[in-house]
Amino acid sequence: MRRSVILNLLLLFLPAIIAAQDTPSPDDIPEPMPRMSEGGYDIVNFLLIGADTSNPNNIGRTDVLLIVSVNKTVGTVSMLSLPRDLYVYIPGDRVYRINTAYSVGENSGFEGGGPQALIETIRYNLGLEIDYYARVDFNDFRQIIDDLGGIEIAVACGLEDWRLIAPDLDPELEENWEMFTLPIGVHTMDGDLALWYARSRRTTSDFDRGRRHQALMRAIWQRIRALDLIEQITDVYPQVLEIVDTNIPLEEILNLVPLAASLDSTRIASYTFRPNIEVTSWTSPEGSSVLVPVRDAVIALEERLLQPPTEHQLVREQPSVEVINASGIYGMDRVAAERLAWEGFMSIIGEQAPYQAYSSLTDYTGQTKGSSLEMLQLTLNIGAEATMIEPTAERSVDFRVVIGENFRPCTYNVTSASS
């Protein structure tokens, strides 16, 4: 009797046991990703690397990995942040976090060192060809921001995290730290604050950190344009090489000057890996929490990355959006405008209006098909009850957004148009 029960149980669970044995573990070496097609465009891919160290003698981990894909044919830019915990095969070594590939290359005698090991890791696991790289550490990043005279960031999601009271204090002493809050709004950041903004983890996720890294890149580019440094690149580049470890030749930079000078926000697209879509959480045999790529979803994301932003429906339609600040809080119109720019909208900031408790959205197009209304509502967190449809044939703008005190712009986990 007992033997019969055991046999029946084995028969019941045998298919699941066999399936589990046949299912590859994320720790197995995956097949290499096929090379992603660039669709006949002339595309140059840059890999920007941020090392988590202030010591030039310490290789550190590459906790910031940002691919900037420049389409020279149509004059557009797309950015993709790679999570530091992405679980990938490091060629010639093992399956592990992508942020260790650089140090593996430096320590193992890999031909081309850390940069080439990381580039080949990306090629093997993502099918993307990296043409050039640039690497900075903490001190380099601070110096770049300070040399630019600071940068301005419109913060849509407030942050709270520990921060050194002064950057020159000993980080090993507990009394040198304080809880620091960065509220929603427009902030001018020096190198130290920009580094804190890039690294903060306490009230945010690694996916959001990737978005903030891209926001910093946009702000740096805007500051470079404001200072007319693009036109001075021949004189400035030798100074850059003193700070940045890179293989980008000056000739390539000069080729991109016309594009950089004319680029606007609608020609820049931003992408990040998303939990449970492009990556899934897993615990590795070492007990580490890692992110395993979902192959088909990663391919779909990279196809969008390599598609020019100008091919996106929203950009082709180019709806005009006027943003008016009635919140009583300085800079909320800028925050809304930057949030809209992230999704591909080109907005106009109007005159500040008298205080209004609640945000509102007016649609002057009256369109039902192909309308950008739903995306505007999601992006700015404005519901149907605060939306008015007023079709107007002779209109100065397609949409008008009035920002009230209840404005809550932190909606990056809600919308997915460019993430």
Domain of residue 365: give its range: 313-403
Q: How many domains does the chain have?
A: 2
- Give the least confident one: 74-83, 129-138, 158-167, 360-369: 360-369
Give the residue from 311, 328, 353 where a domain finishes. Answer: 311
Residue of 355 and 167 predicted with greater confidence? 355
Same domain, 152 and 279: yes
Q: Is residue 284 part of a domain?
A: yes
Q: What is the pLDDT at residue 8? A: 58
Average pLDDT over residues 120-133: 98
| Length reported for the chain | 419
Give percent of the chain above pLDDT 90: 76
> Residue with structure tokens 């091919």?
311
Q: What is the pLDDT at residue 21? A: 43
Average pLDDT over residues 35-56: 93
CATH number at residue 49: 3.40.630.190
Q: Kindly tell me if the per-residue pLDDT of 71 is higher than 80.
A: yes
Q: Is residue 359 part of a domain?
A: yes
Evaluate whether 47 touches 122 at the Cβ level (below 8 Å).
yes
> What does 141-182 look like in DSSP terms, one character per residue?
HHHHHHHTT-EEEEESS-EEEEEESSTTS-TT-GGGEEEEEE
Same domain, 201 and 216: yes
Same domain, 201 and 346: no
Q: Would the pTM count as exceeding 0.85? A: yes
Secondary structure (H, E, C), 72-117 = CCCCEEEEEECCCCEEEECCCCCEEEHHHHHHHHHHCCCCCHHHHH
Same domain, 352 and 212: no
Q: What is the pLDDT at residue 121? A: 98
Contacts of 253 (CB under 8 A, 6+ apart): 233, 237
- Name the pLDDT band for 17 (thresholds 50, 70, 90): very low
pLDDT 10s digits, 210-262: 999 999 999 999 999 999 999 899 999 999 999 999 999 999 999 999 999 88
Residue type, position 357, single letter = A
Same domain, 326 and 294: no
pLDDT 10s digits, 108-125: 989 999 999 999 999 999
Same domain, 141 and 248: yes
Q: Is residue 34 part of a domain?
A: no
Q: If DSSP codes are grouped into helix, strand and coil, which group holds residue 26? A: coil
Same domain, 228 and 326: no
- Name the pLDDT band for 5 (thresholds 50, 70, 90): low
Q: What is the pLDDT at residue 263? A: 87
- Name the pLDDT band for 158 (thresholds 50, 70, 90): very high
- Name the pLDDT band for 27 (thresholds 50, 70, 90): confident
Helix axis angle for 233-243 and 138-147, nearest 10°, is 150
Same domain, 201 and 304: yes
Q: Is residue 30 part of a domain?
A: no
Residue type, position 225, single letter = R
CATH number at residue 344: 3.30.70.2390
Return mean pLDDT, the chain. Answer: 89
Same domain, 356 and 243: no
> What does 312-338 look like in DSSP terms, one character per residue?
SHHHHH--EEEEEE-SSSTTHHHHHHH
Q: Is residue 29 part of a domain?
A: no
Same domain, 56 and 90: yes
Contacts of 96 (CB under 8 A, 6+ apart): 87, 88, 90, 284
Same domain, 327 and 285: no
Task: Kindly state the helix (H) or strand (E) to which residue 62 belongs, with its residue range.
Answer: strand 62-71
Alpha carbons 234 and 164: distance in angstroms, whole number:
37
Burial zone of 388 (CB within 10 Å; 0-12 exposed, 13-18 middle, 19+ buried): exposed
Alpha carbons 155 and 414: distance in angstroms, whole number:
17
Give the residue from 290, 311, 332 where a domain finishes. Answer: 311
Burial zone of 102 (CB within 10 Å; 0-12 exposed, 13-18 middle, 19+ buried): buried
Q: Kindly tell me if the per-residue pLDDT of 411 is higher than 70.
A: yes
Q: How many CB atoms lie within 10 A of CB 172?
A: 6
Strand partners, 68: 46, 79
Q: Is residue 87 part of a domain?
A: yes
Q: What is the pLDDT at residue 259? A: 92
Q: Kindly tell me if the per-residue pLDDT of 376 is higher than 80.
A: yes
Q: Kindly tell me if the per-residue pLDDT of 391 is higher than 90.
A: yes
Evaluate whether 391 touches 365 at the Cβ level (below 8 Å).
yes
| Token pair for 400 | 């008008």
Q: Is 38 left (phi over 0), alpha (psi -120 to 50) or beta?
A: alpha
Give the residue from 258, 287, 311 where a domain finishes. Answer: 311
Q: Is residue 186 part of a domain?
A: yes
Q: Is residue 1 part of a domain?
A: no
Same domain, 156 and 175: yes
